[in-house]
Structure 1
Amino acid sequence: MNDSHAVVVGGGIGGLSAALALHRHGWRVTVLERAAELREVGAGLSLMANAVRALDALGLGPALRDGGHGEAPGGIRDRHGRWLSRVDAADMVRQLGTTALGVHRATLHRTLREALPASSVHTDATVEHVEPGPDRAEVRYRGTDGGHTLAADLVVGADGLRSRVRAQLWPRHPDPVYAGSTTWRAAIAFPDPVPAAITWGPGAEFGMVPIGAGQLYWYAAVNTPPGGHAPDELAAVRERFGDWHDPIPALLTATPPEVVLRHDIYHLAEPLPSYVRGRVALLGDAAHPMTPNLGQGAGQAIEDAVVLGAVCAGGAADVPGALAAYDAQRRPRSQSVARASFTAGRFGQQLRNPVALALRDIALRLTPGRATLRGMARYADWSPPAG
């Protein structure tokens, strides 16, 4: 263990991944989480090959493969159940070296937390100010016992979509904007075999992903103005998707109303000019909040963490140089993925025009599955830095 100290603001998947990556390279890490309890609120995740490789680099791949579900062959269907595009699992492994992995968010969060020293995580800690350096950084936060100030060689802003660190250090940068869709999510008990698949309808999408242990994660998204809520969100999903193809009605029947989550989708329409200011680095949704249409949000955050750990492997001796390398490696890729994800949503879930829908569906049916996989590989074929 060297004497380098990093403060990570945010105890979500990105923050814990960053803490673990730095800890594995000998850093002393303090995680500050403003919630009273360290837990992940959410349903499931589909981790593409790049995310699985990043988790392997953190030493967590075997545990998550045991606790998750290697995705069954699936693809894209229309609302009547006709396949528009199929993905073969064997071809995916040949193309990408591994299959995707469906996992409950809580399983991933718990696995990350348990890999860190318990003393490194502080809950009920609200960060009020970050001083970025240049020689040392400081973090002022308020806990249950009053105010505190921590000196740090490195601060990682991993505090999510509405990042206070980003807002403080980039005060003139536009906030995330509404992407045009709202989404419902739930993780349920559903032991019957189901492929990992997406179904598209006009301005709507329904997805399903097995996540292991007899559980399944489903999500639904529609075009709608922001800020909407229903007295019974499950009833709202049934009204829109209840007559779509099997097994969608059965999934909704198996869903307890109280587990359904609803969130509007936001993204950072104007990318940041840098992820670094002084000795502070942004990571995950704090740096590049993106739409979920490529299933890459969590994967990009975990990639960020692995790269950050690798460039900082030498400790505090050259943090500015390490962060310059981090920004150079991560900003172009993550912003490219964010742009592609937004575009995928516009031509997938959000598409409504009947003529455009028909042309898109024909094009999908005529595209060979291996060509579709090559398109996926543009974003999923990533490997961690050596060492």
Structure 2
Amino acid sequence: METNAKIIIVGAGISGLATALALHRLGIKSLVLESSDKLRAAGIAFTTWTNAWRSLDALGIGQSLRQQHELLLGINTFSTVTGNLTSYVSFTTKGKHGDHEVRCVKRKVLLEALAKELPNGTIRYSSKVVSIQDSDFLKLVHLSDGSVLKAKVLIGCDGVNSVVAKSLGFKKPSLIGRSAIRGCAYYNQGHGFEPKFQLFVGNGVRYGIIPCDNSAVYWFFTWYPSSQEYKMVEGADQLKLKQFVLSKLGKVSDQIQGVIEDTGVEEIVYSPLGYRPPLQILTGDIYKDNVCVAGDACHPMTPDLGQGGCSALEDGVILAKCLANAFLEKSDHPTKGSSENEDDNVKIRSSLNDYAKKRRWRAFDLISTGYMLGFLQECNWFGMQFLREKVLSAFLAGFFLSKADVNPTELMLTA
């Protein structure tokens, strides 16, 4: 059975739902294909920086999410070697483009907020894409259940192992030799933490403690595992992962250690870290004809800058604005001798080319900066501890704000 859809989005993650909602706000219908049988909320939480909040406001869900997540006032950076505070960067200062805004948002809450605003039937679950074919000006999307969908535009938001990215010639993301363990502790009577991002660096590890609201505290832990550690964590259960993190914390307060101890094992996840090499972003095809990629399908990056989910929200708003130029504007002067499909295809290609131009260097910048941050904060070269703690600490922390301080007009949802 074949079904027609103007715009098909593969993947109901952050970028897929943000793109669908941005298109909906502009009066453009889309169909989102999700391979699982329900909304997937893996990932626990993530820091949402200023650019994310400007995107969420454009999507019309910023205010409701603010009511559920605490405003963070700044970032404290500590040495795990000495236990000393090495820098403090305030989030209450003004940036080049206005006030900063930083919160830690639960992924499940964000995805549900995005999905709730979409018209019924926009998300089609249990719809795994197995192959993509050309058919004149359309793309034929073959699903595992045997059905075939026809699309004027195909958008890949299907994560790091994207089928759509593969069809554009992108390789799988490269592992960088680092790993991450994440978790969240819950306190019915309140956690007692100040509304601040607390970052700990030293002894080859980097970890953070971030309150989401009055009861939830999210944490992450990244490091370069030795070959022995890698073998251990690859096959370890969640209890062993928890014990491993506790053994690596260094000199920290009992309150910080308590967050890891108070985390239920079911709330702990492990993953090796990867990224798309920046040169692939510059030389690869973010779009081709009527196909493009966004979010992790386009620019998977290390978590060190906290921009993976934030830039995915940016992608959704900017991509929808670009596509609106193709779907909302009627040409008064069609190309002589061309069909309606040919004219539509020309406008779609122009819109996706515009999107690729806007996102290519932005993705290159975020991937490169995040990789540099992780390397400098976790490497143990001679003299690096002194440079980090006495010279670079505030400078490195400042990248969190500067890279999120985008021009608000770029994220206003107008065609």
TM-score by length of 1: 0.90
Shifted more, 329-338 versus 244-253: the winner is 244-253
SS in structure 2 of the partner of residue 380 of structure 1: coil
2:273 paired residue number: 265
Shifted more, 132-141 versus 173-182: the winner is 132-141
Deviation at 1:69, TM superposition (A): 1.7
1:202 paired residue number: 203
Is the alpha carbon distance of 1:10 and 1:188 closer, same or farther for their aligned partners in structure 2, counting shifts above 3 Å?
same
Deviation at 1:150, TM superposition (A): 1.1
SS in structure 2 of the partner of residue 334 of structure 1: helix
Q: 1:107 aligns with which of 106, 109, 134?
A: 109
Cα distance in 2, alignment partners of residues 63 and 282 from structure 1: 28
Opposite residue 89 of structure 2, the aligned amino acid is V
Is the alpha carbon distance of 1:103 and 1:260 closer, same or farther for their aligned partners in structure 2, counting shifts above 3 Å?
same
SS in structure 2 of the partner of residue 57 of structure 1: helix
- Which structure: larger Rg? 2
Cα distance in 2, alignment partners of residues 117 and 213 from structure 1: 32
Q: Is the 8 A contact 1:134 1:278 kept in 2?
A: no
Q: Structure 1: any 5+ residue segments left out of the alignment?
A: none
2:178 paired residue number: 181
Q: Is the 8 A contact 1:139 1:151 kept in 2?
A: yes
- Aligned pairs for 1:150-161 (under 5 A) are 150-161=149-160
SS in structure 1 of the partner of residue 160 of structure 2: coil
Opposite residue 189 of structure 1, the aligned amino acid is Y
1:352 and 2:387 are equivalent in the alignment: no
Cα distance in 2, alignment partners of residues 110 and 132 from structure 1: 33
Deviation at 1:206, TM superposition (A): 1.3
Cα distance in 2, alignment partners of residues 76 and 246 from structure 1: 17
1:230 and 2:236 are equivalent in the alignment: yes
CA deviation vs aligned residue, 1:106-163 (integer Å, no higher than 9, x gap):
1111101111123111111110112356622221112xxx311111121110010111
Opposite residue 390 of structure 2, the aligned amino acid is I
1:363 and 2:395 are equivalent in the alignment: no
1:312 and 2:323 are equivalent in the alignment: yes
Q: Is the 8 A contact 1:337 1:379 kept in 2?
A: no
Deviation at 1:243, TM superposition (A): 5.2
1:139 and 2:141 are equivalent in the alignment: yes
Identity over the aligned pairs, expressed in percent?
A: 25
CA deviation vs aligned residue, 1:230-271 (integer Å, no higher than 9, x gap):
232111211222753342211012111121111111111242
Cα distance in 1, alignment partners of residues 14 and 64 from structure 2: 16
1:332 paired residue number: 361
Aligned length: 376
Cα distance in 2, alignment partners of residues 61 and 147 from structure 1: 39
1:278 and 2:265 are equivalent in the alignment: no
Cα distance in 1, alignment partners of residues 95 and 67 from structure 2: 18
SS in structure 2 of the partner of residue 19 of structure 1: helix
Is the alpha carbon distance of 1:94 and 1:189 closer, same or farther for their aligned partners in structure 2, counting shifts above 3 Å?
farther
Is the alpha carbon distance of 1:133 and 1:342 closer, same or farther for their aligned partners in structure 2, counting shifts above 3 Å?
farther
Cα distance in 2, alignment partners of residues 117 and 242 from structure 1: 50
Root-mean-square deviation (Å): 2.2
Q: Is the 8 A contact 1:132 1:278 kept in 2?
A: no
Q: Structure 2: any 5+ residue segments left out of the alignment?
A: 328-343
TM-score by length of 2: 0.85
- Aligned pairs for 1:211-226 (under 5 A) are 211-224=212-225, 225=227
Deviation at 1:334, TM superposition (A): 1.2
Cα distance in 2, alignment partners of residues 324 and 217 from structure 1: 38
CA deviation vs aligned residue, 1:78-97 (integer Å, no higher than 9, x gap):
11432212012321578742
- Aligned pairs for 1:30-45 (under 5 A) are 30-45=31-46
Is the alpha carbon distance of 1:53 and 1:304 closer, same or farther for their aligned partners in structure 2, counting shifts above 3 Å?
same
Deviation at 1:337, TM superposition (A): 0.8
Cα distance in 2, alignment partners of residues 60 and 19 from structure 1: 14
Is the alpha carbon distance of 1:213 and 1:220 closer, same or farther for their aligned partners in structure 2, counting shifts above 3 Å?
same
CA deviation vs aligned residue, 1:284-320 (integer Å, no higher than 9, x gap):
1100110011000001111111000111113444211
1:252 and 2:260 are equivalent in the alignment: yes
1:298 and 2:309 are equivalent in the alignment: yes
SS in structure 1 of the partner of residue 305 of structure 2: coil
Q: Is the 8 A contact 2:159 2:295 kept in 1?
A: yes
Deviation at 1:218, TM superposition (A): 0.5
Deviation at 1:37, TM superposition (A): 1.7
1:11 paired residue number: 12
Q: Is the 8 A contact 1:92 1:373 kept in 2?
A: no
Q: Is the 8 A contact 2:306 2:400 kept in 1?
A: no
SS in structure 2 of the partner of residue 174 of structure 1: coil
Opposite residue 12 of structure 1, the aligned amino acid is G
Deviation at 1:12, TM superposition (A): 0.8
Cα distance in 2, alignment partners of residues 248 and 123 from structure 1: 40
